[in-house]
Amino acid sequence: DAGVIQSPRHEVTEMGQEVTLRCKPISGHNSLFWYRQTMMRGLELLIYFNNNVPIDDSGMPEDRFSAKMPNASFSTLKIQPSEPRDSAVYFCASDSGRAGSNTGELFFGEGSRLTVL
Partner 1 sequence: AQSVTQPDIHITVSEGASLELRCNYSYGATPYLFWYVQSPGQGLQLLLKYFSGDTLVQGIKGFEAEFKRSQSSFNLRKPSVHWSDAAEYFCAVDAPEYGNKLVFGAGTILRVKS
Chain contacts with partner 1 (rule: CB under 8 A): 4, 33, 42-43, 45, 48, 55-56, 91, 93, 97, 100-102, 104-106, 108-111
Q: What minimum distance in Å lies between the beta carbon of 101 and partner 1?
A: 7
User: 54 burial class (0-12, 13-18, 19+ CB within 10 angstroms)?
Assistant: middle
Query: Considering beta carbons, is residue 57 or 81 the nearer one to partner 1?
Result: 57
Query: Considering beta carbons, is residue 70 or 104 the nearer one to partner 1?
Result: 104
Q: What minimum distance in Å lies between the beta carbon of 96 and partner 1?
A: 12
Query: Considering beta carbons, is residue 18 or 105 the nearer one to partner 1?
Result: 105
Query: Considering beta carbons, is residue 18 or 98 the nearer one to partner 1?
Result: 98
Q: Are 27 and 96 in contact (CB under 8 A)?
A: no
Q: Are 80 and 69 in contact (CB under 8 A)?
A: no
The angle subtended at Cα 8 by Cα 60 and Cα 53, nearest 5°, is 40
Q: What minimum distance in Å lies between the beta carbon of 104 and partner 1?
A: 4
Q: What minimum distance in Å lies between the beta carbon of 16 and partner 1?
A: 28
- Phi then psi dihedrals of residue 80, to 5 deg: -150, 115
